[in-house]
Structure formats: C-alpha cells, structure tokens
C-alpha cells in the first residue's frame, strides 16, 4: 500500500472515530440529567488534557507533573483575550492553543535536556509556580480573585433550531467539538510516522538516534503538541465560570496523571476510560455510601482515598492500566 493511501486510511479512521465519539457523547447526554450533562462537559474538557499526557508520557516517555499549570496558561490566555481585549470566546480558545504551544516550546527546550525524576520535578515546580505568578502580577492577572468568564448563552439560531437549550447542554455543545477535534488529532499523530518516531524515542533513545531521529527536536515537538492540547483544555475548563489560581491547583495535574495511569498511559481509549473514572467515581462512591451511616470525617475523604487506592493497585498490579488489561484479556481469548 502506498504511503499516501495509508495516510488517507488513517485519516479516514481517525475522522470516523472522532465522529462516533461526538455522536456517542451527544446521545449519552440525552439520557443524562442536567448534573450528569455537566459532568460530561467536565469529561470532555479534562479528556483533552489527559490526551496531552497520553502523548507526552505515553507516546514519548516524558513525565510531566505540571499539565495543570499549562492548562492555567491556556485559561489565562483566553480569559485575558476575552476580558481585556474583547475577543470572541471561540477565537480566544484557538489562540489559547497557540499561546500554550509557544509556552510548551520554551518548556520543551529545557525539558529536552532532562529526563525521569528531574523532568518530573521541574514540571511539578512549574505547577506550583504558575499560580503564584497570577498573584505576583495581580494588576494584570487579577490575583486570587481571577477573571470571571463563562460560555455565555446559546445563540438565537441554535435555540430556533433546537428549542430551549439548558446551560449544561450549551456548555457541552461548546466543549465537545474541540474534544472531537483533539481526539482526531491525537489519533492521527499516534498512528502516523510521527507517532512511531515518538515511540522510538520513548523505547530507546540511542537506537532512535542511530535510525536518524533527532531526539531533542522530537521531544520539543511533543511538548509543543501536548502543551497546545493542555492549553485548550485549560481555556475550556476556565470558561465554566472562573479563571483563577484555585481553579488550576497542583492536584489538578496529579488528577490528570491519575486518569491517564488508571486508563493506561499508552492508550487513547485508556485516556477516555480514565477520565470517565475520575469524574464519575466520586459520584458513584457517594451514591453507594449514602445508604450507610459513614461518619462525616471519613465520608468526605472516601472519594480521594478510593481513587488513590485504585492508582496504587493499577501501578502495582496492572501498570498498563485498564486498556492494558483489556488487551491482555483479548490476547488470552485468542490463544
């Protein structure tokens, strides 16, 4: 099969899967009540950020504990463009991708020289430092108070077409197209030569270099792509109501990493599963525990404890996450 034809098939499959995902979420939202519709919006938003970890850590082997901070870069970029310069929300989302990617370029240039715990430490420091910048330059970033932004109301043409649209459904309509496009992009990147190059660097840098791959440049490119995605997620996340340091705390980065690990760091399907799990698990635990007389000082910590436990079990017993386990089951069935 020619190279062009292979690319066309991959493109077609990616498009098809993104469309299936889009329709599936829309159909799912129709079955959900308003709260779970808002949770779907959360999933659609955070999924883009988890994809950035799938690319960065899963595909290229670079550990980042600071994706939440890059989300903050995207969030502040779009909120400042809207509130200070009067840009449209949609344009601000697109520009947030480029601004975050540019940030990722600088970060990537430094990161290309680091690996393992050194890179993890550097990105963690970034996660801690970026919210402080917003406070340090309070006049520009509005400090702790942050910038109040939202998705607004659905346009008239849409309400004329579909009837009354709730705030929750409108939020999902704003976010979901971006998630579908992100899914398309990640699928394409992963399955083409680019993805193979990244995986080659991840698996053996020396062998990859001997095969003619520029290691440093590859790492920087991955950082740029992952940062663009995280920035977009941050912009969408902020427009739920507020862009402020407390919206992008350090534990947001860890939550994203947890989702990626539980689902399977190297799998896009795993990213989807992991994101569903971290968003819906606390609700599920609350529903189960509601029927038991659990003391308040234990009940409030249960969701975090359960997710932490799930993460530990995954890392110890099933490091490839849910996607890896699924793959393993399929192999056992075949043989």
Q: Confirm or reject binding of residue 326 to other proteins (CB under 8 A).
A: yes
Angle at 208 between CA 204 and CA 214, to 5 degrees: 125
Task: Out of 11, 15, 26, 32, point to the residue binding other proteins (CB under 8 A).
Answer: 32
Is 118 a binding residue for other proteins by CB under 8 A? The answer is no
**Options 6, 9, 19, 33; binder of other proteins; rule CB under 8 A:** 33
Cα angle vertex 69, ends 63, 75, to 5°?
135
Contacts (CB under 8 A) with other proteins, residues 245-284: 245-249, 252, 263, 266-270, 272-273, 275-277, 280-281, 283-284
Give the range of 95-103, 106-114, 202-210, 291-299 binding other proteins by CB under 8 A. Answer: 291-299
Least distance (Å) between residue 266 CB and other proteins: 6
Interacting stretch for other proteins, rule CB under 8 A, among 34-42, 114-122, 205-213, 310-318?
34-42
Tokens of 100: 């975050």
Where in 54-113 is the site for other proteins (CB under 8 A)?
Answer: 58-59
Minimum distance from CB of 113 to other proteins (Å)? 27
Distance between CA 313 and CA 235 in Å, rounded? 32
Given the rule CB under 8 A, which of 18-26, 113-121, 172-180, 308-316 is the region that contacts other proteins? 18-26
Residues 157-196 within binding reach of other proteins (CB under 8 A) = 167-168, 187, 190-191, 195
Binding test (CB under 8 A) with other proteins, winner from 131, 154, 228, 231 = 131
Q: Which is nearer to other proteins, 109 or 310 (CB)?
A: 310
Per the rule left: phi > 0, alpha: psi between -120 and 50, beta: everything else, 279 is alpha
Given the rule CB under 8 A, which of 78-86, 214-222, 307-315, 323-331 is the region that contacts other proteins? 323-331
- Residue 294's CB: how many other CB atoms inside 10 A? 13
Q: How many other β-carbons are positioned within 10 Å of the β-carbon of residue 130?
A: 21
Residue list 38-57, contact with other proteins (CB under 8 A): 38-40, 42
Q: Which of 8, 24, 203, 319 binds other proteins (CB under 8 A)?
A: 24
**CB-wise, 96 or 277, nearer to other proteins?**
277
Nearer to other proteins, 6 or 300 (CB): 300
Count of C-beta atoms within a 10 Å radius of residue 208: 19
Q: How far apart are the first and last CA of the chain?
A: 29
Alpha helices in the chain (DSSP H): 3-31, 34-53, 67-83, 89-111, 116-136, 138-141, 156-162, 167-191, 193-203, 205-210, 215-238, 250-263, 268-289, 296-299, 302-317, 321-334
- Show the site string, 223-242: x = touches other proteins by CB under 8 A, - = not: --------------x--xxx
Whole-number minimum distance, CB 283 to other proteins, in Å? 5
Nearest distance from residue 42's CB to other proteins, in Å? Answer: 7
Residue 117 or 144: the one with the smaller Cβ distance to other proteins is 144
Integer Cα distance of 131 and 235 in angstroms: 15
What is the nearest approach in angstroms of other proteins to the Cβ of residue 86? Answer: 18
Cβ pair 245, 131 in contact under 8 A? yes
Smallest CA-to-CA distance from 276 within 289, 290, 263, 261 is with: 263
For the four alpha carbons of 161, 167, 171 and 172, in that order, the dihedral sign comes to negative
């Amino acid at each position: 099969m020619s190279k062009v034809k292979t690319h066309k098939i991959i493109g077609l499959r990616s498009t098809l899967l993104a469309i299936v995902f889009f329709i599936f979420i829309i159909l799912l939202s129709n079955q959900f009540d308003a709260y779970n519709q808002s949770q779907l919006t959360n999933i659609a938003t955070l999924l883009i950020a988890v994809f950035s970890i799938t690319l960065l850590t899963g595909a290229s082997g670079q550990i980042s504990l600071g994706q939440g901070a890059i989300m903050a870069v995207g969030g502040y970029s779009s909120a400042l463009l809207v509130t200070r310069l009067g840009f449209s929300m949609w344009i601000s989302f697109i520009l947030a991708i480029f601004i975050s990617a540019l940030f990722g370029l600088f970060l990537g240039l430094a990161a290309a020289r680091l690996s393992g715990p050194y890179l993890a430490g550097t990105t963690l420091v970034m996660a801690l430092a970026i919210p402080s910048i917003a406070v340090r330059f309070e006049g520009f970033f509005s400090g702790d108070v942050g910038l109040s932004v939202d998705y607004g109301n659905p346009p008239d043409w849409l309400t004329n077409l579909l009837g009354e649209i709730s705030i929750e459904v409108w939020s999902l309509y704003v976010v979901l197209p971006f998630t579908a496009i992100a899914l398309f992009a990640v699928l394409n990147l992963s399955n083409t030569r680019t993805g193979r190059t990244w995986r080659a660097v991840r698996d053996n840098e020396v062998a990859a270099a001997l095969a003619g791959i520029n290691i440093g440049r590859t790492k920087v490119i991955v950082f740029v792509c992952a940062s663009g995605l995280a920035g977009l997620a941050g912009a969408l996340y902020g427009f739920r109501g507020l862009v402020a340091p407390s919206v992008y705390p350090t534990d947001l980065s860890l939550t994203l990493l947890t989702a990626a690990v539980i689902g399977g760091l190297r799998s896009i399907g795993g990213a989807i599963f992991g994101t569903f799990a971290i968003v819906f698990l606390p609700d599920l635990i609350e529903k189960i525990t509601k029927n038991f007389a659990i003391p308040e000082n234990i009940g409030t910590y249960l969701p975090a404890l359960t997710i932490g436990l799930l993460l530990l079990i995954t890392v110890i017993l099933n490091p490839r996450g849910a996607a890896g386990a699924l793959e393993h089951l399929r192999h056992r069935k075949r043989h």
